């Protein structure tokens, strides 16, 4: 009976991981940014805008292959990986920026760096948000609310 329960719980856990997850945009808890429009978020991630509410922001990106990165490319950048690489190479070449966003290997590492640095902005699964970071509303919606635009 216990084995049957164990196998059933394991199967249910596997199924739940296939449901859509919200992608949370995170900043340090004390940063005076509570809401961003999707177009503002895009401008920040394209590094066209580096300051919001007097806070200078540096973007952190996940490494290639991460589902969170794929979602960010699709709904924030509206680019493929190749177009993203080309965009930032050209931006550096024209002198608009000095380097592309830093790549970080895990969501936990992004959470740790963002939580400890008021000048950083990144993204993690909404379920991974804890008290060390603050999830920013996008277009007035918080992760988990109906209408939140970033899901993967």
Partner 1 sequence: MAIPSFGADTPTDAELIRQLAARVDQLEKELKEVQGAASSSADATENTYPKIRFNGFADITYHATHRGDPSHFELGEFDLFINSRISEKAGILAETVVAADGTNNFGVDIERLIFQYNISDAFKLDVGRFHTALGYYNNTYHHGTWFQTATGRPDFVNYEDSGGILPVHTVGISLHGAIPSGTLGLSYFAEVGNSHQFRNPNLGVNPVANVADVSNSKAVNVALLSRPAGVPGLQFGAGLYHDNLHPDAQIGTVENILNGHVVFKDAHWEFISEVYKISHAPDNGPTTTSTAWFAQVAHQFGKLRPYVRYTSTDIPLTDAAYALVDLAGKRHTVSYGVRWDFTDYASYKMQLDQKTVTGLPVSSDLIFQLAFTF
Binding site for partner 1 (CB under 8 A): 2-3, 6, 39, 42-43, 48-51, 78-80, 82-83, 85, 89-90, 92-95, 98-99, 102, 104-106, 108-109, 112-113
- Identify which of residues 3 and 19 has a Cβ nearer to partner 1 in the complex: 3
| First-residue to last-residue Cα distance in the chain | 36
- Identify which of residues 43 and 142 has a Cβ nearer to partner 1 in the complex: 43
CA distance 24 to 134: 9
- Identify which of residues 51 and 144 has a Cβ nearer to partner 1 in the complex: 51
Q: Which of 64, 78, 66 lies closest to 21 in space, CA to CA?
A: 66
The minimum distance between CB 150 and partner 1, in angstroms, equals: 16
The minimum distance between CB 120 and partner 1, in angstroms, equals: 9
The minimum distance between CB 60 and partner 1, in angstroms, equals: 8
Report the relative pairing of strands 35-36 and 137-138 from DSSP bridges. Answer: parallel
CA distance 29 to 2: 43
The minimum distance between CB 61 and partner 1, in angstroms, equals: 11
> Phi and psi of 35, rounded to 5°?
-145, 140
């Amino acid at each position: 009976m216990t084995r049957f329960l164990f196998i059933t719980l394991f199967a249910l856990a596997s199924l739940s991981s296939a449901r859509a997850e919200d992608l949370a945009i995170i900043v340090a808890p004390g940063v005076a940014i509570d809401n961003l429009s999707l177009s503002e978020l895009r401008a920040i991630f394209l590094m066209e805008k580096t300051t919001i509410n007097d806070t200078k922001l540096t973007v952190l990106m996940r490494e290639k292959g991460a589902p969170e990165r794929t979602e960010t490319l699709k709904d924030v950048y509206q680019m493929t990986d190749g177009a993203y690489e080309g965009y930032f190479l050209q931006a550096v070449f024209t002198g608009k920026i000095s380097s592309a966003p830093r790549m970080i290997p895990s969501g936990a590492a992004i959470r740790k760096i963002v939580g400890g640095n008021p000048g950083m902005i990144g993204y993690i699964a909404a379920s991974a948000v804890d008290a060390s970071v603050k999830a920013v509303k996008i277009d007035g919606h918080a992760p988990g609310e109906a209408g939140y635009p970033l899901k993967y």
